[in-house]
Structure 1
Amino acid sequence: MFVLLSFMDRSNIGNARVAGLTKSLHMTNNQFSTALTMTYVPYVLMEIPMNLLMKRLGANVTLPITAILWGIV
């Protein structure tokens, strides 16, 4: 469930583009690509620290905390 919601959250930028995000913000294709790339940077940077934290605390603690923090953001 968590993976599905995370995927849906990341893919919404594509839906926003179809709905007219680039036109309303006067974005070029290059600017949109940069914005899309920037949404994945935190995911890539946090992969190793989160896996280490999960090994230390366990998934039963780490996943709920991550879901709560993700909901706050």
Structure 2
Amino acid sequence: MFVGRFTAVLRTLVPPLCGATGMPLRRYPFCSVVSSAVWASAFVLIGYVTGRRGPGDTSEGAGSCQCRQMPHATP
């Protein structure tokens, strides 16, 4: 179940496979929450580390994005 969280094809097959193999109902939510927390933390950390400075980035550090706001439509 843990490895299935990191693979798209397995992620869709894990719940039916857990039921078919007889995984206890009390154990499934615990394993699902733990593996989801690890998955989310891993991808947030990867995004943070790789997104700090990308190719061609001339900013001074993380979080210094130049964003433009769209004008608000008034009724």
TM-score tier, shorter chain, comes to 0.3 to 0.5
- Pair member with larger Rg: 2
TM-score (normalised: structure 1)? 0.47
Greater share of helix: 1
TM-score by length of 2: 0.46
